[in-house]
Amino acid sequence: MRIAQAVSRDADQIDVSARVHRFARRDEGFTLIELLVVVLIIGILAAIAIPSFLAQKNKATDANAKEVARTAELAAETYASDHSATYTGVEPTTLKEYDASLQLVEGNGNAWLSAAEATEGGAGYVVTATAPTSNDTFTVTKSAAGEVTRTCKAVGSNKTGCQSGTW
């Protein structure tokens, strides 16, 4: 009985071994044309996806610059409430004292407050933030009459966050 089992096991091993050799010798695989078609499809998808991704990245950095300009606007208003409703003395370093989250220099891939100044004899102000990847600028201006305008200037042809000149 043991001999019959051993012979049966050897036959199974030979059968498995024969199957492996047959599988390895088959002439199946991908043709060069099939591989080229796959590479072409991947290239087309990449050509569509990469510009879309870059546009989304620019939109994000522009949104970050808008947020910095808005934060600087609030800091300027806080400054005025502490200084008898005048904006005289508003500058980037002064606004950073009122809001420590403001970034004043380029770096770390974040937008920064590139300019801030009092206008109209201290009755108004202008704050400008710059986006890091596009270098688009976003400006908040408050006039002596209290009118607030938000303008933007797109540096290049990419106008993702600054399409109409205002925001």
Note whether 141 and 125 are within 8 A (CB): yes
Grouping H, G, I as helix, E, B as strand and the rest as coil, residue 31 is coil
Q: Is 11 domain-assigned?
A: no
* Residue 157: its H or E element: none
Global pTM reads: 0.71
Q: Is 89 domain-assigned?
A: yes
Taking only the tens place, the pLDDT of each residue in 12-53 is: 566 777 776 666 666 678 899 999 999 999 999 999 999 888
Q: Is 21 domain-assigned?
A: no
* Domain with 91 in it: 32-153
How many independent structural domains does the chain possess? 1
The pLDDT value given to residue 14: 64
CATH number, residue 130: 3.30.700
Taking only the tens place, the pLDDT of each residue in 107-157 is: 888 999 999 999 999 999 999 999 998 889 999 999 999 999 999 998 877
What does the block give as tokens for 163?
């399409």
Q: How far apart are CA 67 and CA 141, in angstroms?
A: 15
Reported residue count of the chain is 167
Q: Is 165 domain-assigned?
A: no
The residues near 129 (Cβ < 8 Å, ≥ 6 apart) are 65, 66, 68, 69, 72, 111, 112, 113, 114, 137, 138, 139
Q: Which residue has the higher pLDDT, 137 or 55?
A: 137
Q: Is 167 domain-assigned?
A: no
Taking only the tens place, the pLDDT of each residue in 57-84 is: 888 999 999 999 999 999 999 999 999 9
